[in-house]
Amino acid sequence: MGFADQRFTVNLSMLFTELPLLERPAAAAAAGFTAVELWWPWAESPTPRQSEPDALGRAIEDAGVRLTGLNFYAGRLPGPDRGALSVPGEESERFRANVDVAAGFAGALGCTALNALYGNRVEGTDPAEQDALALENLALAARAADRIGAVLLVEALNGPESPLYPLQSAPAAVAVADKVNEATGLGNARFLMDLYHLSMNGEDLPSVIERYATRTGHVQIADNPGRGAPGTGSLPLEDLLDRLSGAGYDGWVGLEYKPGASPSAEAFEWLPAGARAAR
């Protein structure tokens, strides 16, 4: 087993960002990959002009890559925001306006996973109020995902980098996914297991894998420290992915790391060229 036995997808919001958005799918294909994922590409607009998603959809199709994952609108990423759906007022309204737009774009490209970042705590707002709003909006997102045959992902982020984000452990994220499934009866809310974020939180990664692999809808990786490519830090990522496979996970593994000072095309030396195309 090992890296060569995984199905990798390249996050085009973290890699190839030195290129214009519409050139990134082709760059990923030129590097040997057949699958890509994205944060919501229009951070300032949950409802961009139709010409913009149409152009991106054509770029993805023309490159011959598959879109495997997409974030719903989550505010400014990268930046201070960590989601919108639990933020009362304008931000949660923007999230709701985005739900069908994002699901429509994803569905047209055969995307099967939609990630809904929870959102930061807001000073002066009752956390229980935010959690009730979050459940309402996550249920809305789960229903939209179900209409296109996709899963809804709930992600834990790390405390050092996202101190106001309330889901800072695997159990916290899984508990929210369970509440969404209970509220909708659809069973399509799943855990997004980001090994970088969990490691930054100090979690026991083998234990997390053993406990939650069967509840996981998507995996993302970056090394720690530094959030760079595998081999730039100290995480035993190859071993951890082997553990995931052994525990029954056979889904996509998103490469969501920083390429460093070199062009993104040079950030994949750790992965043999023949292992980049998904089988």
Measured distance CA(278)–CA(88) in Å, rounded = 40
Measured distance CA(93)–CA(182) in Å, rounded = 23
The token pair that represents 120 in the structure block: 């930061």
Catalytic residue among 37, 91, 203, 256: 256
CB 23 within 8 A of CB 270: no
Any catalytic annotation for residue 256? yes
Catalytic residue among 61, 155, 161, 238: 155
Determine how β-strand 35-38 pairs with β-strand 7-11.
parallel
Any catalytic annotation for residue 90? no
Spatial CB neighbours of 269, under 8 Å, sequence gap ≥ 6: 229
Catalytic residues: 155, 256
